[in-house]
Structure 1
Amino acid sequence: MERRVEGEEEEEEQSLQNFLTWAAELGITDSPPPNPSQSSLKPSNPPSCLGKSLTVSHFPNSGGRGLAAARHLTKHELVLTVPKSALITSDTLISMDNKLCCSIRRYPNLSSSQMLSVCLLAEMGKGRSSRWHTYLMQFPRSYDTLAGFARFETQALQVDDAIWAAEKAVSKAELEWKEALPLMRELEFKHQLITFRSWLWASATISTRTMHIPWDEAGCLCPVGDFFNYAAPGEDSIGSEYEDSCTQFSSLQVSSSSKNKDLERELDTRPVEEHSQRLIDAGYEEDVGAYCFYARRNYRKGEQVLLSYGTYTNLELLEHYGFILTTNPNEKVYIQLEPDVYSNSWPKESLYIQPDGKPSYALLCALRLWATPPNKRKSVGHLAYSGQLLSRENEMHVMRWIENKCCFLLDNVPSSVEEDICLLDFADKLKYSHLNETKQMPLACEVETAAFAKANGLKTVGEFSFSNKAKRSMERWKLAIRWRLRYKQILVDCITHCTTTMDHLSSQRIPCLRTDLLSFVDK
């Protein structure tokens, strides 16, 4: 067994080295651009495309295989260049295949992503004769995006919005596959390439690995560039939109109402604008004809060099990329307001609980106004929109409403935070331990583990001879548990925040400001 594993590792390492040499032959490099006078000089035996700025390494706790700094890197320094000729797009693959070129023209209704999926499967069908075979062999054989979630794994998400997102992703993938089937049959694809499973692989490859280019909505496959693991924008400065409740009482002031409309329009977009200047650290540059990657911060030698794909919640990361982050500064628990509470002044996507458990700016504003008598809302609206408290009683009412809402959401999911933690621990033991160490299954895990066994054709969950299908299902199951666990932890943290705030408000000797506000309103 050990010899087989060692052999596999050696084979994978040789495959990687062949790929890096192949990439260097295409002009992919982590070295600074050569001088114009040297641009025509090419070494007879190209070395690896990496080694000057980056190197392939393994990070078991943060993305698996990725790129590490081969030396100290400076923020915004160019670390990798991939020439346009090395990028793979639909046009690239169609131009090299006359049959594909003639057939695909007869299906103008297919989306750019569908066309790239068909082209990718066609290229896979060529095997070693494909120009891109060395690169294609670096792709994973399966992905954990939501479109690949089976019914059991979808239900394991527990939260209605997440379940709906998974079901929608599966339905969308099935529809796109059926629309592309006539083209694939016309191209006489091998049977295994026409299956829905193969389609899921191709579409997930495009979802997880393509990068934006201005001339194709589907994006491009970028050899070596897709080795970068993800870094969430803003992760270095996780801040809260919510300011301390009690300290705001002392600074409560009446501001000019002439700016109310401007505040309503600007406040919710302000946090987005702060991060919009640089959400990603790479892009295609026309002047050099290449995809260029830059260091997003200073890196020490050996550190993992990360790439920001954009701003995503964990559910969006799971849907499009097949992973989640334990610490994601852009995670949100959306709060649905009842019709009598909701105000059209705020888009629904701005009403959420932050990763630290504190309500978003918009959620607080909406609830503060709702907790104000209807005949007073117009007069004090500018105070709410500027983020100021309206009174101690008003804030207590808001905190109590949010606390009750979080409790309601937690009460309506099948398992608790503690049970999910226990279940994750059990799943890890089931994967890595021997059968006799997993016979004593925790009571809290019984229902769900029995459902996992049934969904994967196992007599009992202790049946350790898992098929590859069951192993993949377990990985998606664990992702679902991790997602819902983070969801619940945020709600628990929000309850703690609300309780602490109410206790703080109750214990402070702060004069009630309702009289002052009403006096202002009367004027």
Structure 2
Amino acid sequence: MGASGLRLGRAARSRRQKRRGAVRSVSLSHLDQSVRLRKFLHQRGFTSTLLQPAHFTDTGRGLQTLQNIKPGEMIISLPESCLLTTTTVLNSYLGSFIKSWRHPLSPLLVLCVFLVCERHRGEASDWFPYISALPTTYTCPAYFSDMVVEVLPAAVRRRAVEQREAVRDMHSSNQDFFRSLQLVLSRPVQEVLTYEALRWAWCSVNTRSVFMSRPSNDFLSGQDNYALAPFLDLLNHQPDLQVTAGFNDQTRCYEIRSVSGMKRYQQAFINYGCHDNQRLLLEYGFVATNNPHSVVYVETDLLCDVLRGDKSLDQKIKFLRENQFLHNLTVSSEGPSWRLMTALRLLSLSQTQFHLWKAALLGQLLCEHTEEWSVHTARTICQQLLSDTHTALHKISLLLHRCEQPIREQLDVVRLLRQEEGSILQSCLQTLEGSVQQAHTTPDVGAVR
């Protein structure tokens, strides 16, 4: 599920406000937007007395509990009639165009086109109360300017570029289908189904949909598991929260239950999954504070740069790749991951020690020298990553002084990610310093000969 409507760029404000005092909230139930949405959902069978929209000083817009919620109690039960899925689209005025198109379309494209067309219809749309409540822009990488992409960590930068290209490809490769919809549009199709409009819809679906597996359909291609869930999608993410969520085939409702319970007038949260902050930024456009899953990724290019004097490096990198050992190499506040240290142990070996390469990947300790070399190399990697982080934070600080508000929102989110990255790397370096001291006092037991 995605982030709430006013989450975009609010993370920097959140930390400043937390320093000033306790979290405060203001009800948003009286606003016309909220009233229209609740009326729209009520007409479709949804009633809720447990939660109300509210603005919180630490997270922006979310949902507030109106009474104590017991462990195991239902938080939200949203009827299927309130969910916006591909079935909704296929049963709409767009259905005949989709069903008669020359090849099956992706569920994501179908939902995006429906959102754009419905926003184009304005108040004439049945879904206007929901669509008008959606954010008008996002802080996902698809919206990032080039200058913002440049200050992202390397791993995020690559995926951010891929995300932008995916949206552009979706727009450019479906122009013929878009033109076929001119009959249902009141303005020229090129003015309605623009790249900017499709990008908005793409981010709306990707950041706000819940997972709901649907049966295969001859008119659609690929997995169909998106469902937009009005009101429910106002729930914000809390990394350490436990809830149960999913579509109930018996009640035909999407249901969320609290595991530990919630106090009255507190913000109700949901857990989007065990995601680190890089993934949260890429998929939802925000960074979670105090995220226990946060790590810093070590890219292959950095390994090659640090070890560029090794004549057998290419062969060892190839060996690691063939054994699926070049992905998810990370460091956390507790130190380097097992996968990273295992890869470094192999990289410490010479070409003449090829017979030990497999043993290294199996996690066997080789010798004291190998351990010392691996720890030293891990320190070098962390130091280079930390230097890159400091450089990026300096660039972000300069950019914030001369950029406009939309770019400022994007930079604020990236700055939080970079600040967290710096904290993780500093903690990891401290852990590695301790490992160096321990390595000199630990006997070489279990060494492979």
When normalised by structure 1's length, the TM-score is 0.68
Q: 1:10 to 1:66 in 2, by over 3 A?
A: closer
8 Å CA contact 1:20–1:50 kept in 2: the answer is no
1:369-428 deviation line (CA, Å, top 9, x unaligned): 55467377379659835xxx55554433221110011122333467166x47xx6xxxxx
Residue in 2 aligned with 1:41?
none
Q: 1:289 to 1:490 in 2, by over 3 A?
A: same
Which of 86, 90, 98 is the matching residue for 2:86?
90
Residue in 2 aligned with 1:377?
356
Residue in 2 aligned with 1:303?
266
Residue in 1 aligned with 2:326?
348
Measure, in 1, the Cα distance between the counterparts of 2:345 and 2:116.
54
The structural deviation recorded for 1:301 is 1.6
Which of 400, 415, 419 is the matching residue for 1:481?
415
Q: Which amino acid aligns with 1:226?
A: D
Measure, in 1, the Cα distance between the counterparts of 2:29 and 2:248.
36
Larger radius of gyration: 1
Q: 1:368 to 1:156 in 2, by over 3 A?
A: closer
- Would you say how many aligned residue pairs link Structure 1 and Structure 2? 393
SS of structure 1 residue aligned to 2:246: strand
Alignment of 1:162-311 (within 5 A): 162-188=156-182, 189=185, 190=187, 192-215=191-214, 217-232=224-239, 235=240, 281-311=244-274
When normalised by structure 2's length, the TM-score is 0.78
Residue in 1 aligned with 2:140?
145
Measure, in 1, the Cα distance between the counterparts of 2:133 and 2:343.
49
Q: 1:92 to 1:491 in 2, by over 3 A?
A: same
2:387 counterpart of 1:411: yes
Residue in 2 aligned with 1:264?
none
8 Å CA contact 2:69–2:264 kept in 1: the answer is yes
8 Å CA contact 1:90–1:119 kept in 2: the answer is no
Unmatched segments (≥5 aa) in structure 1: 1-8, 29-48, 237-277, 424-444, 454-469
Q: Which amino acid aligns with 2:133?
A: Q
Which of 118, 121, 139 is the matching residue for 1:123?
118
The structural deviation recorded for 1:172 is 1.0
Q: 1:103 to 1:284 in 2, by over 3 A?
A: closer
Q: Which amino acid aligns with 1:178?
A: S
Measure, in 1, the Cα distance between the counterparts of 2:389 and 2:140.
23
- Structure having greater relative contact order (Cα 8 Å, sep ≥ 6): 2
Residue in 2 aligned with 1:57?
54
Q: 1:413 to 1:292 in 2, by over 3 A?
A: closer
Seq. identity, %: 20
8 Å CA contact 1:357–1:492 kept in 2: the answer is no
Measure, in 2, the Cα distance between the counterparts of 1:76 and 1:203.
34
The structural deviation recorded for 1:85 is 1.5
Unmatched segments (≥5 aa) in structure 2: 1-26, 215-222, 305-312
8 Å CA contact 2:400–2:408 kept in 1: the answer is no
Measure, in 2, the Cα distance between the counterparts of 1:472 and 1:218.
31
Measure, in 2, the Cα distance between the counterparts of 1:390 and 1:22.
66
The structural deviation recorded for 1:324 is 1.3
SS of structure 1 residue aligned to 2:344: helix
Runs of 4+ in 1 over 6 A off after TM superposition: 9-12
8 Å CA contact 1:114–1:180 kept in 2: the answer is no
Q: 1:111 to 1:96 in 2, by over 3 A?
A: closer
Residue in 2 aligned with 1:19?
37
The structural deviation recorded for 1:50 is 2.9
SS of structure 2 residue aligned to 1:126: helix
Q: Which amino acid aligns with 1:397?
A: W
SS of structure 1 residue aligned to 2:327: helix
8 Å CA contact 1:295–1:305 kept in 2: the answer is no
